[in-house]
Structure 1
Amino acid sequence: MKRLVCVVEGYGEVDAVPNLCARILTFLNVRDWFVDPEPIRQPRSRLVDERVRSPRRPCRAETVEKALLLARRRPADGVLLICDSDDDCPAVWGPDAGSVVRRIMPGGCVMVVREYETWLLLNQPDNALRRAGIVAPERLRDARGALQRIVKGYLSTVHMLPQTRLIDIGSLLKKSGSFEKLVRTVAQTCGASPPPHR
């Protein structure tokens, strides 16, 4: 079995991202890969070069490279680097981080539009979003705060994994370009057929 190692930024993502990626492997019918349940956590400041003015921030190549070398020592057959965009541009960070990944090992990188919680919001029923006054989750600056209106007392370290387990992968693929990018990146890394474009 081949191992996919994830590099994540937040404490909640430590449990949530490997779970989500394992479910994506199942969705893609990949049987010869598994997701390492213990990702490498790096603060966002080690993944995104915050010395550059937003929104055109590249990756922080030297610290991204260190995280990838840690992943390779697991040993990893592939790596997925994932972080929130906040106000930064995935079209700048993604190709830059991707070039670092390709230099070191097979894999890819995904910058979630706004926050990981944006995906969790997009997975909520439309009527729950309406009741909470949430319109266009990918445009929200505080997806975590918006999610607290639906999931009372939401804390990423407590609720992110249970909310991730509820994600309908096929449905979310149609709603979020960054989620589609995640599924395509996992498919490409593992040599699987990607889903059709939305």
Structure 2
Amino acid sequence: MKLSVIVEGHGEEAAVRFLVQRVATELLGLNLWTLPHTMRVNRGTMVKRPEELGRYLQLANDKIEGAGAILLLLDADDDCPAVLGPKLLATVQALRPDLKISVVLANREEVIRDAKGWIKRERGNYSPTVDQASLTTKFDLAMARDRADSSDKSCREVQILLEIHRHDAIE
């Protein structure tokens, strides 16, 4: 199963590998022999520059040798995920209708901000670049899905892409 994930932050670049592995193992009962390829791309490029985004989609596709799927994972920031998500998905589908691509926007939720503050208080510090990957291996996946729509959407989209690819590999 080949998956390429495009993210916007340094912390997400390392952490998303563990998230995909957990979704595969815990939700699908799969053992991934190959972790997803990750690529960090500036949010502005993903949202405002379709021609450059098309180039990154090609690079992501090259990394999985045209035999897999691509996930774009970025923060919604001040945008409404229900508006920007479908718009960005339509853009990437128009750019590359030949690729299996999903888009997930993480909503700016107070719960997430509170969690970062709690981690800082409990551990004395928190750096997404240093801590996000290790914390991704430890958090309660079911609780995150129950409490944050964007966490649930991330898991569902990863499941869909892995299932599609597994189905294609069987045929």
TM-score, structure 2 length as denominator? Answer: 0.80
Q: Residues 30 and 78 (structure 1 numbering): CA distance in 2 closer, same or farther, change over 3 Å?
A: farther
- Are residue 64 (structure 1) and residue 63 (structure 2) matched? no
Measure how far apart 1:26 and its partner are. 1.2
Contact map agreement 1:4 1:79 (CA 8 A) in 2 = yes
Structure with the greater relative contact order (CA < 8 A, sep ≥ 6): 1 or 2? 2
CA contact (8 A) 2:28 2:159 kept: no
* 1:106 aligned partner: 100
Distance 2:11 2:23 in 1: 18
User: Which residue is 1:137 aligned to?
Assistant: 111
Preserved contact between residue 9 and residue 40 of structure 2 (Cα < 8 Å): yes
Which residue in the other structure is 1:160 paired with?
A: 132
Q: CA RMSD in A?
A: 2.4
4+ residue runs over 6 A deviation: none
Work out whether residues 4 and 33 of structure 1, in 8 Å CA contact, stay in contact via their aligned partners in 2: no
% identity of equivalent residues? 31
Structure 2 residue runs without a partner (length 5+):
165-171
Gaps of 5+ in 1: 50-59, 119-135, 193-198
2:154 alignment counterpart: 182
Aligned length: 159
Residue 79 of structure 2 is matched in structure 1 by: 88
- Once the two structures are superposed, what CA deviation does each residue of 1:10-37 show, in whole Å capped at 9, x if it has no partner? 1111110111111111122253866644
Question: 1:162–1:85: structure 2 CA closer, same or farther, 3 Å change rule?
Answer: same
Structure 1 or 2: more helix by fraction: 2
User: What is the CA-CA distance between 1:38 and the residue it aligns to?
Assistant: 3.7
TM-score, length-normalised on structure 1?
A: 0.70
